[in-house]
Structure 1
Amino acid sequence: MKPRAVVFAYHNVGVRCLQVLLAGGIDVALVVTHEDSPTENIWFGSVKSVAEEHGIDVITPADPKSAELRAAVAAAQPDFIFSFYYRHMLPTDLLALAGRRAYNVHGSLLPKYRGRVPTNWAVLRGETETGATLHEMAAKPDAGAIVAQTPVPILPDDTAAQVFDKVTVAAEQTLWRVLPALIAGEAPHLPNDLAQGSYFGGRKPEDGRIDFSQSAQHVYNLIRAVAPPYPGAFTDIGGERFVIGRARLARPGAIGATLAGLPAGIHVSDNALFAVCGDGRAIAIHELRHQRDGHESIVTPAAFAELTSSASRP
């Protein structure tokens, strides 16, 4: 008889890992996911759609601690509970309903980057590697025993979205590789030493505000960490908001004579956009967006010069 599971899942990692379970011999009795928010940019796959295509019951409770959710999970009589990028912490009394154990996939190499949006934080902090970890769920977030991990590189110009694509594949590979051992009850459960790691909270769109007095590398890491489809790194000039969509860190010493000595911020030079940073280095801006009244448009160097000139006039 196939082992039964209840799966809490969302986003691309949820889609891919649910498909791994179905391909790997797990009877998924129930999928718990989120309703898409009308205020969020939904650029990722639908767990709900995948579950419905396979004839699996789907529920979207707002409260993970509700009696109704607990009753639904208990009725499914799961051997396993899995969480794949589900956005709520699951209470321990709910996890205890798994006849065997409850597991989560996290988008970092635990114990590093426990908590929220680990891929974005890893890019922001200039890491050169991250990955995916399958671990046992516990009362604290991302604190249970480690079952398996798969690393992926973060290249110098990777955006968080590009790294997240790699992490999604790493999550799929990790689960696929260890699933037979989980089913057989032979999977390793290794220590997750929280003292050797770190915890990070969620990020808000306002956290994308650029401080050009910081080093160019720091500013560039922020641009990469929140580049589209995330809200983007931005600055306000004279009441006008500009979002940097794409950029590239200029080589040390590559700043032109026309930029040397200019104050930190965005400037136009030779019909191109550059950001001068606090350490004197520059960032070449390849795509700048102007936001006004809920609308967004691409800004040329000439248009930027006109907008900022107009904004500075009395």
Structure 2
Amino acid sequence: MRDKLNIVFMGTPDFSVPCLHALAKSGHRVQAVFTQPDKPKGRGYKLIPTPVKAAAQAYGIPVYQPLSLRKGEDAARALETLQALQPDLIVVVAYGQILPVEVLELPAFGCVNIHASLLPKYRGAAPIQWCILNGETETGVTSMQMAQGLDTGDMLLAESLSIGEEETSGQLHDRLSELGAKVLLETVAGICQGTLTPVPQDDALSCYASMIRKDMSRIDFTKSAREIHNLIRGITGFAFLGGKRHKLLRSALSERTVDPALAGTIVDAKDLTIACGDGHCIRILELQAEGGKRLKTEDFLRGNSIENGMKFETEVL
């Protein structure tokens, strides 16, 4: 048994930050943080630190930002740094790089990953979005012992939560990131106490959550109302109204039924209810017109002349 561990943390985006906060406040020693290189943003292309880097600096934790852990001089220097640190454990949370076997085998307790799904379902880069796209009503966070495959390591702990009917991927992201911190602390405690029993994943139950492509956001209103609603919740949809591109940011399922031939047509301009291809409808709650601001539907309708019979199109006509 161990009371405290020396830990190297690897992560990059906002999702990773609650896990780093939890470790930094836990009494374990976070020796170093590895994160992706800073990226230029804005008109001046100013280099912006990753969210994890900013959090690490606030705690005074040394930060390393190798371009790669697998090849080149950066990888060699990173391995030398890790060998010098000799961490008991490496924690990986949405780092964005694949760890080579030399790194996986370096810590005494290996490398642990916090993944935003109930493995073996939704391995891969975009589990949160795909859960909503596929209409799942439950998801969660799994900690696993990392192996060379993509999210294929033995599972350590998992905790689930329900997905709301109108919950967006952004809202779910925030809840899962907090849950991830809780699961991580429980996992580290289990490692210290020697109480964890790794469980192999059943590959037959797995599915892959591939990266989201921009073209996936195009809305085809000939699909069912629920499919369209899930697309809007999962990745934000877009369609064309009056020749202008509109992002559809939040929606709700409507109880109204119509002729499926009206797919894409506004059937109630008072609350922006749109017909879908299965004869059901959705209501748009928030949207953003091309060149405009994100608006709630009531605000959008006050500034735009919208009438029944107008139609959202998949392509510009």
Under a length normalisation based on structure 2, what TM-score does the superposition of the two structures give?
Answer: 0.84
CA–CA separation in structure 1 for the residues paired with 2:305 and 2:171 = 28
Q: Give me the CA root mean square deviation.
A: 2.7
Candidates 107, 114, 117, aligned match of 1:108: 117
Structural mapping, 1:79-118, within 5 Å: 79-118=88-127
Q: CA deviation at 1:178?
A: 2.7
After superposition, the Cα gap between the structure-2 partners of 1:95 and 1:268, relative to the gap in structure 1 and judged at 3 Å, is same
Matching residue of 1:166: 175
CA–CA separation in structure 2 for the residues paired with 1:270 and 1:239 = 18
After superposition, the Cα gap between the structure-2 partners of 1:155 and 1:283, relative to the gap in structure 1 and judged at 3 Å, is same
Matching residue of 2:237: 233
Q: 3-state SS of the aligned residue for 2:92?
A: strand
Under a length normalisation based on structure 1, what TM-score does the superposition of the two structures give?
Answer: 0.85
Q: How many aligned positions are there?
A: 296
Deviations 1:129-186 (A, max 9, x none): 0000000111111110111001010121111112122211221221222322212333
Task: Check conservation: 1:273, 1:301, Cα contact below 8 A.
Answer: no
Task: Check conservation: 1:288, 1:300, Cα contact below 8 A.
Answer: no
Q: CA deviation at 1:275?
A: 1.9
CA–CA separation in structure 2 for the residues paired with 1:261 and 1:111 = 37
Candidates 16, 21, 24, aligned match of 1:14: 16
Q: CA deviation at 1:268?
A: 5.7
Structure 2 unaligned segments of length 5 or more: list them.
Answer: 43-49
Matching residue of 1:130: 139
Task: Check conservation: 1:272, 1:301, Cα contact below 8 A.
Answer: no
Q: CA deviation at 1:244?
A: 0.7
Matching residue of 2:219: 210
Candidates 216, 230, 249, aligned match of 2:253: 249
Which region of structure 1 is more displaced relative to structure 2, 241-250 or 91-100?
91-100
Deviations 1:7-57 (A, max 9, x none): 1012333211122223333211110112454459xxxx9221221122210
Matching residue of 2:46: none
CA–CA separation in structure 2 for the residues paired with 1:34 and 1:304 = 46
Matching residue of 2:279: 280
After superposition, the Cα gap between the structure-2 partners of 1:64 and 1:301, relative to the gap in structure 1 and judged at 3 Å, is farther
Indicate the percent of aligned positions where both proteins have the same amino acid. Answer: 32
Candidates 121, 143, 150, aligned match of 1:141: 150
Matching residue of 1:269: 268
After superposition, the Cα gap between the structure-2 partners of 1:249 and 1:79, relative to the gap in structure 1 and judged at 3 Å, is same
Matching residue of 2:165: 156
- For residue 172 of structure 1, what is the amino acid of its counterpart? A
Q: 3-state SS of the aligned residue for 1:90?
A: coil
After superposition, the Cα gap between the structure-2 partners of 1:304 and 1:93, relative to the gap in structure 1 and judged at 3 Å, is farther
Q: CA deviation at 1:70?
A: 1.8
Matching residue of 1:178: 187
Task: Check conservation: 2:260, 2:275, Cα contact below 8 A.
Answer: no
- For residue 53 of structure 1, what is the amino acid of its counterpart? A
State whether structure 2 residue 64 is matched by structure 1 residue 62.
no
Matching residue of 2:27: 25
